[in-house]
Structure 1
Amino acid sequence: MKAPTFPESVADGTVAAWHKQPGEACKRDEHIVDIETDKVVLEVVAPADGVIADIVKAEGDTVLSEEVLANFSAGASADAAPAAAPAAEATSATEESGDEDGIAGPAARKALAEAGLSASQVKGTGKGGRITKEDVEAAAKNKAAAPAPAAAAPAAMPALGADGRVEKRVPMTRLRATIAKRLVEAQQTAAMLTTYNEVNMGPVMELRSKYKDLFQKTHNGTKLGFMSFFVKAATEALKRYPAVNASIDGNDMVYHGYQDIGVAVSTNRGLMVPVLRNTEAMGLADIESNIMDFAVRGRDGKLGMEDMQGGTFTITNGGIFGSLMSTPILNPPQTAILGMHKIQERPMAVNGQVVIQPMMYLALSYDHRMIDGKEAVQFLVTIKELLEDPARLLLEI
């Protein structure tokens, strides 16, 4: 069994977890081991029905592309004992049989049984290494004098700090370390600035409430959420302000003639940003269906590298966790990221009257090297206007 072929951008990986051990039966294409890279966790499956003979790369080991992970016996069954085991059992049986090979006589065998010893535990001093009754008595005395074996160690407990309080030290996963490195680099290399605005979510909520059942029925069970409205609004705004859809490559500014929007997904392995390709050509149902697919595969650890490569703009939604306001960090080499937040009812002044409305704070973090403040503010205002009057999304005005 070999590691997968890594893309050029990935030098190596780390064995994250073995799901099968030597001697366990495996079915063809059954999930056997996880390989964690800087970008994603890859699954390695059994090449055929059989048994893992032995593991070459243990958990935590670094592996290269196509490097051997384990030796696999195709067609073997789980009840087949390892090759060395029969020989060991035969040797033990021979030692305990006594008379058959002349190692121990009847008296010595009786003494061995009374002392609870096996022939392998006693060194014979008789002719030809034969075990005598005296050898058994001496071995029994040594056993009694030897310290009792330590009891099985209890389950590992968290270490105590210098002040006696409990601490737990866990190595950072490769994926988490890469995320941390990229976030720090983004803050150190970009002239990052954030502008804020707020949007009245009432019109979108009303539209969603009115058509969500019909939408789900029409589109084979796909539910209408809020994210698709934000993706469509961001797509339209990106068309109007191409600098926000651009990236920086050295001293070059790269303007993209398409909109590939990454949607941040929280998984138990860390934050991942799968990309919706060509959102300018996608409808609300396509967007919602793809986002749901990303969420399910992210939860199951099945997002591939191809799902997360590229992207010209990112949207992250801290509102699902209750965040009211935040400052999102750029996803290099992109030059902007939109942060969504919790919908909160607040008193707002409308035509001289105080009205309770469902409001959401929006945050746009951007690279000031590429985007001027005027463009950033106008981009965010465009998203606000499109969401507060969703008909403009359809009319593209």
Structure 2
Amino acid sequence: MAKAVKLPRTDRSIETYALVGTPIERPEAAPVFNRIAYAAAHVVSDPWADTLPWNSPVIDWDATMAFRHHLWSLGFKIAEAMDTSQRGMGLDWAGAQELISRSLAEARTVPGADLACGAGTDQLPKQDAKSLDDVISAYEEQLGFIEKHGGRAILMASRALAHVAKSPDDYRKVYGRILGQAKDKVVLHWLGDMFDPELTGYWGGDRFEDTLQTVLSIITDHQDKVEGIKISLLDQAYEVELRRRLPQDVICFTGDDFNYATLIEGDGTRHSHALLGIFDAVAPQASKALAALAKGDLATFRGTIEPTVPLSRKIFEAPTQYYKAGVVFLAWLNGHQSHFTMPAGMQSARGALHYADIFRLADRANVLDRPDLAAARMTALMTQYGFA
């Protein structure tokens, strides 16, 4: 008999929802992809110690590292200490340093494991940034920490830089200084203001074409230090135009959690690689799809990954920066953590109707790996809200 859960609907009624999904089988060994695929991984709170979650969130390091092993076993690289880990929304630079050092050490215990780490300026509050040199120093500190621990960097967008920069030349100066001293190639990150409203006007302009010119000029001037760029604007046309104009040996990583399926597949001439927060939540499905794509099996690729897109669009709906709650919600439903709490209490950023919709869409996309557990936990959550 199919498991059933009582879920609220927008008309204030309650439906008895019967699960229909089938869990995805696990590969015997980590599969090989023909796309570079980074999953931006979340961190797990420790509710036993998290007495002041808004001020001093505590991380469960064992559960956090176990989740990274889950991703590595499915063939993914990890984008560590990114916004999925609540950088700037619960996890401060001190916590990020511990996360980075632990993850780099853990990766060395797993054959073939790979990761890159976010380098930003979040130890510098934007109101304390008085000059471009302040921003440069903050970037240098984080990049230096990552390199000291043997890591490679993803150069994250900076709220402090958005606050003090007055022109595209200011962005060229800051990125030029950091790229010029990086030991290894880095990945740039073009993060739209739908993910972080404080990044409005990033790159020194409001029009896409103007900001694109600035980004391309930075990449061209420092091509020997840029592996690629992740673009997270949730606009497929913008990403296609960027990747068309990138230098040949610079990689385009999609960060488009609305359109990743078609962007990864490509148009027959060009395709995007992936650096995605949604891969945290749908890792088994994305792994199966990418393995099929590598074998030229487009039917399996599309049939597996396309059902996850409506789920991702729901998780990343506006206000998009709260997508992290949906990612951790699914980790809890699937048994990767024993509780549904987050750093800074971010689970409260979404409401019961949102979680009910995610549950339905996850089931239909075969994302609920342990249906019995998911149904029991969802019933407990809905009871807490007063709906069951």
Which protein shows a greater Rg?
1
| TM range, smaller chain | under 0.3
- Structure (1 or 2) with the greater strand fraction: 1
Structure having greater relative contact order (Cα 8 Å, sep ≥ 6): 2
